[in-house]
């Protein structure tokens, strides 16, 4: 269980050392290579420093800020066995919100699930936010002004390259953008945009490094088409299907003492 901590940032060299220290061939989700696809066709393979996400999170969790710690605790509580598969409905198929079940916040239905408990990325990450907020005694002062409909619209991105979670949390007065990538921490919310204009809503776990310690990509948690809920990794680049560093946005949920009124 995470204790109280206060990483202002996790220096790249320390993150790299922790990755090496926690990597094991017997871990749950060992990643040594990131495959990049464009329209389901493989376009690149990138060898990386071996990474074990659960072991890494357990190693850093004690030092995380309060709300990052809550996010990490929440995501580790979800099954990663395919129980909640991925489903992006075609137009007219369903009006569910991508969450594992109906989500209530302060007794109000804020997100609608579907009978099979399937998910899609932005719905799942927004569900995580609501679960963390529900665990807090204080309600965001701007909640009545913003409300669930606007939160969902902003979080789900109203246009290509929209900041998604960053815009939603900023509007509600509960988050801030992480401008310096060196300051990203496990439990931050990320809106990924790729060079092919596709996007993905995820929760940051760590940067991915090559074997020399150079940052080449990102490890994250979300729900993916092939696996459902779980961990995944992507690389940055200028080739089709790679993450766009300039368009990807990282944001952090602030503690209640810093929420705007």
Number of residues that this document lists for the chain: 261
What is the C-alpha to C-alpha distance for residues 238 and 234, in angstroms, rounded to an integer?
A: 13
Q: Which of 81, 49, 10 is nearest to 213 (CA)?
A: 49
What is the C-alpha to C-alpha distance for residues 186 and 5, in angstroms, rounded to an integer?
A: 13
The answer to whether residue 4 is domain-embedded is no
Mean pLDDT over residues 217-223, rounded? 99
Q: Which residue in this structure is represented by tokens 């580790």?
A: 76
The answer to whether residue 100 is domain-embedded is yes
Q: Which of 9, 5, 14, 1 is nearest to 180 (CA)?
A: 9
Residue 148's CB is within 10 A of a number of other CB atoms, namely 17
- Mean pLDDT (the chain) is 95
pLDDT of 94 reads: 85
The answer to whether residue 206 is domain-embedded is yes
The answer to whether residue 1 is domain-embedded is no
The answer to whether residue 2 is domain-embedded is no
Contact 74, 132 (CB under 8 A): yes
pLDDT of 4 reads: 46
Mean pLDDT over residues 221-249, rounded? 98
The answer to whether residue 242 is domain-embedded is yes
The answer to whether residue 84 is domain-embedded is yes
pTM: 0.95
Kindly tell me if the per-residue pLDDT of 1 is higher than 70: no
Report the domain count for the chain: 1
Question: Rounded to 10 degrees, what is the CA torsion of 102, 104, 109, 115?
Answer: 10
The answer to whether residue 5 is domain-embedded is no
Question: Which residues, including other chains, have CB under 8 Å from residue 260's CB and lie 6 or more apart?
Answer: 141, 142, 173, 174
Banded model confidence at residue 92, pLDDT cuts 50, 70, 90 = confident
Contact 53, 231 (CB under 8 A): yes
Q: What is the pLDDT of residues 167-204, one digit of tens each?
A: 999 999 999 999 999 999 999 999 999 999 999 999 99
**53 is in which domain, residue-wise?**
12-258
Mean pLDDT over residues 76-89, rounded? 97
Q: What is the pLDDT of residues 132-143, one digit of tens each?
A: 999 999 999 999
Contact 133, 70 (CB under 8 A): no
What is the C-alpha to C-alpha distance for residues 205 and 158, in angstroms, rounded to an integer?
A: 25
What is the C-alpha to C-alpha distance for residues 77 and 5, in angstroms, rounded to an integer?
A: 20
Q: Where are the alpha helices (DSSP H) in the chain?
A: 12-22, 53-60, 66-76, 121-134, 143-155, 165-172
Instruction: Look up residue 195 and give its two tokens.
Output: 């060079």
Q: Which of 138, 143, 135 is nearest to 70 (CA)?
A: 135
């Amino acid at each position: 269980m995470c204790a109280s901590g206060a990483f202002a940032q996790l220096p790249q060299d320390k993150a790299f050392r922790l990755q090496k220290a926690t990597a094991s061939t017997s871990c749950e989700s060992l990643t040594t290579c990131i495959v990049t696809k464009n329209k389901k066709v493989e376009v690149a393979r990138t060898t990386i420093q071996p990474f074990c996400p659960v072991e890494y999170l357990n190693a850093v969790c004690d030092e995380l800020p309060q709300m990052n710690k809550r996010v990490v605790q929440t995501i580790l509580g979800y099954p990663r066995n395919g129980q909640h598969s991925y489903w992006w409905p075609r137009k007219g198929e369903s009006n569910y919100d991508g969450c594992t079940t109906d989500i209530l916040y302060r007794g109000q239905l804020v997100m609608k699930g579907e009978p099979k408990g399937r998910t899609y990325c932005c719905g799942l990450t927004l569900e995580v936010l609501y679960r963390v907020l529900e665990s807090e005694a204080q309600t965001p002062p701007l909640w009545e002004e913003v409300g669930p409909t606007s939160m969902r619209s902003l979080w789900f991105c109203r246009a290509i390259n929209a900041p998604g979670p960053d815009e939603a949390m900023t509007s509600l007065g509960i988050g801030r953008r992480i401008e310096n990538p060196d300051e990203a921490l496990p439990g931050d919310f990320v809106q990924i945009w790729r060079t092919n204009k596709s996007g993905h809503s995820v929760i940051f776990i760590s940067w991915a490094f090559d074997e020399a310690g150079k940052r080449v990509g990102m490890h994250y948690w979300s729900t993916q088409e092939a696996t459902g809920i779980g961990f995944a990794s992507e690389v940055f680049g200028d080739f089709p299907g790679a993450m766009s560093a300039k368009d990807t946005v990282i944001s952090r949920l602030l503690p209640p003492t810093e929420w705007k009124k």
